C-alpha cells in the first residue's frame, strides 16, 4: 500500500496513458494526438535498447534505425509475398535481426574508442542501401499493402487499437531492462564501462556481455519496426536511414541516457519538438527542409554542457526506480571451495620474465606464497611490481618462466580463468561502479558463484539465487566493517573505504589468495592503520595475501616475508626485519647509507 501511494504519480501516468484513446466526448483525444503518441511509443522501444547499450554498456550506436528496418521489412515481405501471419513475420524479423546483430556485434563490439561508433555508421549505411537496392524489397518505393494485425480476434485497424499494443510493448521493454539491470548479468553489464578490466578480473566475459546487450537492443528495435510496418501498412527505406539512427541516439541522450524511463521521456520530447519545429521553421525560414536536425544538434550540445544526465533526473522522483537489490537474512549460503592447509605452498612464481620491447620490466623473478601468510612485494617506483602482479593475475602473459597456483600452471590463463581458480584482486587505481550501491558493487565479485543468465533475469526466475548472492555480498561487507554503508552509492565513499570495498568484492569470489596492488596508496594515517588491522584479521581467518606496496613502513609490521624488487630484479627476500637491514635494499630505497 505504501508503495502504491509513493508511486502515485506513476500510477496516474499509467491510468492516463491507457484511458487516453477511449475518453468520452468533451475530453476526446483527436486522431492526430493518438498518432503522435503511437510514434512516441515506437521510438521509445528503440531508445530503451539504446539506454542499455549506450547509456549503461558504454557503446555508442548510430545504426539502430537499420535494425528497425529489418524488423519492418521482414514482416512486410513475408506477409505480402507469402500471405503468412504477421506473427510469423515478427518471429522471422526478430530471429533475422538477432542473427545479423550477433554477427555484426561479434565484429564491431570489440572495436575500441572511436572505431565502434564509426563501425555502427558503416553498417547503418550499408543496411539502408541494401533496403533501397533490393528488387524483392521494392527498391526505394518499398512495400505496400501490409495487412492489419489481429490480436486475440481483434483487428488492430486504427491507431487507437494498435496504441494499446505499442504501449504494452513499451512497458514490457522498460520492465525487462530494469529486471535485467538488477541481476547478476545486469551488474556485469553495468561494470562494462571503461576498459572492462575490473569486470574481467571478477570473471565476467566482457566480450560476450557486449554482444548480448547489442543483440538485445537490436531485437527491441526490430520489434518496434514490426509494429511500425503494421501501423503504417507500408514501408520504404527512408525511416531506416542514418539520420534516424542519430535521432534515436538523441532521444536516449535527451531523456537521460542511463535511465530506462528517460528513453520514453526523450522520445516524447524529440517527437513533440520535431512536430512543432516542422511547422514553425518553414514559416520562419520560408523554405522546407530538415532544419529541425540543426536545432536538435544545438540542443544536444547545450544538454551535454549543462545537463549531462539528460532531462530525466528532473522528473525521476515521480517514478519508481525499479527493483532495488536488498540483502536478505536467513538464506542458504553459497557453497565454498576447499581451502588449503596452513603452510601449504599456494603460489609459486619461478624465474618469471617480462620484456616490453627492449625493456626488461621483470627479470627472472622467483618467490613463493605460503597459505596463511601475508607476503609483501615492495620496491621503488618502476621496479616492476605491478607488472609482476599482472603476470600473476593473467592481465599479462610472461615472456618466460612459470607461475603455479595450487599445483596448476596458470601463466597462460587469462584473468577470468584465474579468478575462477580462486585468486581475488584489487586495483592500484580503484575501479568500481560509482552509481551502484556498495552491496551491488561487492556482489560483482560473486559473479562466478551464480549462474542466472539474461533470460532468467528478465523474467525474474533468478530470485533465490539473487538472494544468496546478496546475502554473500552483505556477509563480506560486514567482514571488512563497511556494513553501515551497505546501501550507499559506492562513489560517495572516501578513498580509504573504496579500497576496503574492493577487498570485500575480491573476498566475494571466495578466494584462497588475495592480491592487493598498493592498497595503502593515498590513504591517511588512520585509514592505513584500519587497513592493516583488517588484513591481520583476514590472515587470522586463514586468508593468504600478496601485497604489492611502495610504502616500506606500512608493510614492516604486517607481512610475514618481504620480496624486494628494483629495476625488474629481485634484490632481497626474507623476514621483514632482515630485509630492512639489507644493504642492497637500503641502497635502493635511500640511495645508500653511510
* Footprint on this chain of ligand ADP (rule: CB under 6 A): 356, 359, 361, 379, 381-387
134 binds, among ligand ADP, Mg ion, none (CB under 5 to 8 A by kind): none
Spatial contact of 537 and 558, defined as CB atoms under 8 Å apart: no
Q: How far is the CB of 496 from ligand ADP (least distance, A)?
A: 21
Residue 369: enclosing H or E segment and its boundaries? strand 359-370
Instruction: Name, in order, each residue with C-beta under 8 angstroms of 8's C-beta and a sequence gap of 6 or more.
Output: none
Whole-number minimum distance, CB 565 to ligand ADP, in Å? 7
Of ligand ADP, Mg ion, none, which one sits near residue 384, judging by CB under 5 to 8 A according to partner kind?
ligand ADP
CB of 546 to ligand ADP, least distance (A): 13
Nearer to Mg ion, 386 or 512 (CB): 386
Q: At its nearest, how many Å lie between ligand ADP and the CB of residue 384?
A: 4
With CB cut-offs between 5 and 8 Å by kind, which of Mg ion, ligand ADP, none does residue 379 bind? ligand ADP
Asked if 426 interacts with Mg ion (CB under 5 A), we say no
Q: Where does residue 142 fall: left (phi above 0), alpha (psi -120 to 50 degrees), or beta otherwise?
A: left
Which of 67-75, 284-292, 330-338, 380-388 is the region at the interface with Mg ion (rule: CB under 5 A)? 380-388
∠ CA 511-514-519, rounded to 5°: 145
CB 279 within 8 A of CB 324: no
Closest to Mg ion by CB, 183 or 388: 388
Judged by beta carbon, residue 379 or residue 445, the one nearer ligand ADP is 379
Compare residues 72 and 383 and give the one whose CB is closer to ligand ADP: 383
Helix (H) / strand (E) containing 590: helix 583-590
- Which residue's CB is nearer to ligand ADP, number 305 or number 381? 381
Q: Report, in Å, the least distance between residue 383 CB and ligand ADP.
A: 4
Is the CB of 289 or the CB of 382 nearer to ligand ADP? Answer: 382
Tell me the three state secondary structure of residue 352. Answer: strand
CA dist list (Å): 400 to 403, 412, 415, 418: 10, 11, 18, 18
Among ligand ADP, Mg ion, none, residue 359 binds (CB under 5-8 Å by kind) = ligand ADP
Q: Name the binder of 371 from Mg ion, ligand ADP, none, CB < 5-8 A by kind.
A: none
Q: Which is nearer to ligand ADP, 109 or 391 (CB)?
A: 391
3-state class percentages of the chain: helix first, strand second, coil last, to nearest 5: 60, 10, 30
Task: Return the number of the residue (35 or 569) whose C-beta is nearest ligand ADP.
Answer: 569
For residue 201, give the nearest of 543, 547, 568, 516 by alpha carbon: 516
Nearer Cβ to Mg ion (183/386) = 386
Q: Which does 112 bind (CB under 5 to 8 A by kind): Mg ion, ligand ADP, none?
A: none
Question: In the structure grid, which three cell numbers stand for residue 139, read together?
Answer: 527498391
Q: What is the CA radius of gyration of the chain?
A: 29
Task: Kindly state the DSSP code that residue 1 receives in the 8-state scheme.
Answer: -
Positions in 455-474 near Mg ion (CB under 5 A):
none
Q: How far is 105 from 209, CA to CA, in rounded Å?
A: 10
Tell me the closest approach of the beta carbon of residue 392 to Mg ion, in angstroms: 13
Indicate which of Mg ion, ligand ADP, none lies near residue 491 (CB less than 5 to 8 Å, by partner kind).
none
Residue 315's nearest CA partner among 9, 37, 11, 44 is: 9
Of residues 207-266, which lie at the interface with Mg ion (CB under 5 A)? none
Size, binding site for Mg ion by CB under 5 A: 1
Contact of residue 356 among ligand ADP, Mg ion, none (CB under 5-8 Å per partner type): ligand ADP
In whole angstroms, what is the distance from residue 392 CA to residue 387 CA?
Answer: 9
Does residue 386 interact with Mg ion by CB under 5 A? yes
- In the complex, minimum distance from the CB of residue 187 to ligand ADP, in angstroms, rounded to a whole number: 29
Q: Of these partners, Mg ion, ligand ADP, none, which one is at the site of residue 500 (CB under 5 to 8 Å by kind)?
A: none
Q: Quote the CA–CA distance of 101 and 106 in Å, as a whole number.
A: 8
Query: Is residue 206 close enough to count as binding Mg ion by CB under 5 A?
Result: no
> Which residue's Cβ has the minimum distance to Mg ion?
386
Task: Find cell 514559416 and name the residue.
Answer: 283
User: Cβ 591 to ligand ADP, closest distance in Å?
Assistant: 17
Q: Which does 387 bind (CB under 5 to 8 A by kind): ligand ADP, Mg ion, none?
A: ligand ADP
Residue 9 binding partner per list Mg ion, ligand ADP, none, with a CB distance cut-off of 5 to 8 Å that depends on partner kind: none
Of 231 and 548, CB closest to ligand ADP: 548
Task: Give 10 or 567: the residue with its C-beta nearer to ligand ADP.
Answer: 567
Shortest Cβ distance from residue 381 to ligand ADP (Å)?
5
- Alpha-carbon distance of 79 to 524, in angstroms, equals 69
Q: What is the 3-state secondary structure (H, E, C) of 386-425?
A: HHHHHHHHCCCCCCEEEEEECCEECCCCCHHHHHHCCEEE
Contacts of 406 (CB under 8 A, 6+ apart): 340, 346, 421, 422, 512
Cell of residue 579, nine digits: 630485509
In the complex, the smallest distance separating the C-beta of residue 425 from ligand ADP, rounded to whole angstroms, is 14
Residue 400's φ and ψ, nearest 5 degrees, are -150, 165
CB of 428 to ligand ADP, least distance (A): 8
Closest contact distance (angstroms) between CB of 572 and ligand ADP is: 15
Give least dist CB 593 to ligand ADP, A: 22
**Smaller CB separation from Mg ion, 50 or 562:** 562
Sign of torsion over alpha carbons 413, 417, 418, 421: negative
Q: How many CB atoms lie within 10 A of CB 294?
A: 12
Residues 6 or more apart whose CB falls under 8 angstroms from that of 473 comprise 327, 439, 440, 442, 443, 445, 446, 504, 508
Q: Which residues bind Mg ion (CB under 5 A)?
A: 386
Amino acid at each position: 500500500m505504501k508503495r502504491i501511494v509513493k508511486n502515485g504519480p506513476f500510477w496516474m501516468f499509467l491510468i492516463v496513458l491507457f484511458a487516453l484513446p477511449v475518453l468520452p466526448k468533451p475530453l476526446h483525444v483527436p486522431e492526430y494526438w493518438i498518432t503522435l503518441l503511437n510514434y512516441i511509443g515506437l521510438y521509445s522501444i528503440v531508445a530503451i535498447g539504446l539506454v542499455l547499450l549506450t547509456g549503461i554498456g558504454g557503446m555508442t550506436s548510430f545504426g539502430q534505425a537499420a535494425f528497425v528496418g529489418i524488423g519492418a521489412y521482414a514482416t512486410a515481405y513475408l506477409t505480402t509475398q507469402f500471405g503468412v501471419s504477421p506473427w510469423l513475420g515478427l518471429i522471422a524479423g526478430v530471429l533475422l535481426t538477432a542473427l545479423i546483430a550477433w554477427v555484426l556485434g561479434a565484429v564491431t563490439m570489440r572495436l575500441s574508442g572511436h572505431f565502434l561508433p564509426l563501425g555502427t555508421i558503416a553498417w547503418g549505411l550499408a543496411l539502408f542501401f541494401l533496403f533501397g537496392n533490393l528488387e524483392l524489397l521494392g527498391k526505394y518505393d518499398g512495400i505496400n499493402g501490409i495487412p492489419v494485425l489481429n490480436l486475440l480476434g481483434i483487428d488492430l485497424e486504427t491507431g487507437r487499437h494498435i496504441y494499446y499494443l505499442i504501449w504494452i510493448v513499451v512497458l514490457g521493454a522498460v520492465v525487462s531492462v530494469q529486471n535485467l539491470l538488477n541481476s547478476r548479468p545486469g551488474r556485469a553489464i553495468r561494470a562494462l564501462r571503461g576498459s572492462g578490466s575490473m569486470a574481467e578480473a571478477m570473471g565476467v566475459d566482457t566480450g560476450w556481455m557486449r554482444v548480448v546487450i547489442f543483440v538485445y537492443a537490436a531485437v527491441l528495435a526490430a520489434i518496434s519496426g514490426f509494429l511500425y510496418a503494421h501501423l503504417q501498412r507500408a514501408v520504404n527505406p527512408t525511416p531506416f536511414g542514418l539520420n534516424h539512427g542519430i535521432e534515436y541516439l538523441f532521444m536516449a541522450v535527451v531523456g537521460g541516457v542511463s535511465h530506462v524511463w528517460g528513453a520514453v521521456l526523450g522520445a516524447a520530447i524529440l517527437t513533440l519538438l520535431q512536430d512543432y519545429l516542422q511547422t514553425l521553421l518553414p514559416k520562419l525560414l520560408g523554405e522546407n527542409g530538415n532544419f529541425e536536425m540543426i536545432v536538435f544538434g544545438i540542443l544536444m550540445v547545450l544538454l551535454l554542457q549543462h545537463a549531462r544526465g539528460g532531462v530525466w533526473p528532473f522528473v525521476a522522483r515521480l517514478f519508481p526506480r525499479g527493483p532495488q537489490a536488498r540483502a536478505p537474512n536467513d538464506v542458504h549460503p553459497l557453497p565454498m571451495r576447499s581451502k588449503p592447509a596452513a603452510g601449504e605452498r599456494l603460489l609459486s612464481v619461478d624465474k618469471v620474465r617480462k620484456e616490453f620491447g627492449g625493456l626488461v620490466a621483470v627479470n627472472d623473478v622467483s618467490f613463493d606464497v605460503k597459505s596463511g601468510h601475508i607476503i609483501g612485494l615492495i620496491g621503488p617506483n618502476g621496479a616492476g611490481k605491478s607488472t609482476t602482479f599482472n603476470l600473476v593475475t593473467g592481465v599479462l602473459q610472461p615472456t618466460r618462466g612459470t607461475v603455479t597456483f595450487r599445483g596448476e600452471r596458470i601463466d597462460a590463463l587469462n584473468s577470468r580463468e584465474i579468478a575462477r581458480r580462486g585468486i581475488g584482486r584489487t586495483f592500484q587505481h580503484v575501479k568500481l561502479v560509482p552509481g551502484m550501491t556498495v552491496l551491488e558493487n561487492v556482489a560483482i565479485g560473486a559473479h562466478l558463484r551464480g549462474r542466472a543468465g539474461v533470460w532468467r533475469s528478465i523474467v525474474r526466475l533468478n530470485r533465490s539465487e539473487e538472494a544468496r548472492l546478496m546475502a554473500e555480498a552483505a556477509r563480506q561487507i560486514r567482514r571488512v566493517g563497511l556494513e553501515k554503508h551497505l546501501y550507499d552509492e559506492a562513489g560517495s565513499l572516501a578513498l580509504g573505504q573504496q579500497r576496503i570495498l574492493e577487498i570485500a568484492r575480491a573476498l566475494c569470489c571466495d578466494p584462497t589468495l588475495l592480491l592487493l596492488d598498493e592498497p595503502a596508496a593515498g590513504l591517511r594515517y588512520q585509514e592505513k592503520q584500519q587497513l592493516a588491522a583488517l588484513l591481520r584479521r583476514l590472515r587470522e581467518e586463514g586468508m593468504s595475501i600478496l601485497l604489492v606496496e611502495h610504502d616500506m613502513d606500512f608493510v614492516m609490521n604486517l607481512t610475514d616475508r618481504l620480496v624486494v624488487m628494483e629495476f625488474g630484479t629481485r634484490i632481497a627476500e626474507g623476514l621483514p626485519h632482515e630485509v630492512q637491514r639489507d644493504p642492497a635494499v637500503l641502497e635502493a630505497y635511500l640511495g645508500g647509507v653511510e
